[in-house]
Amino acid sequence: MRRRHRKLVGTITMLVFVCVYSLVAMAIAQGRLQEAGKLWQGLYYAIAGMAWILPLMPLIKWMERPDADEN
């Protein structure tokens, strides 16, 4: 698969993942953090706001991999 196609597939996958991830994170926050203190809420949002990057790093590396004929 050429880099251009990998980027298209990767971009669509990332958009779907981030949408689903944000909905799940909001549902958890709505269901579990309503009565929690401000410190716990802030900590959750800081962690949840950055945690989506970790599962997408292999996808980003795959998207940026050079084509076989570029070498």
In this prediction the pTM is 0.80
Between CA 19 and CA 66, with CA 49 as vertex, the angle to 5 degrees is 70
CB 17 within 8 A of CB 9: no
Evaluate whether 3 touches 67 at the Cβ level (below 8 Å). yes
* Cα(36)–Cα(66) distance, integer angstroms: 47
Q: Tens of pLDDT along the chain (71 residues)?
A: 888 999 999 999 999 999 999 999 999 888 888 888 889 999 999 999 999 999 999 999 999 988 887 66
Domain positions in the chain are 3-65
Q: With beta carbons less than 8 A apart as the criterion, state whether 17 and 56 touch.
A: yes
44-61: pLDDT as tens digits: 999 999 999 999 999 999
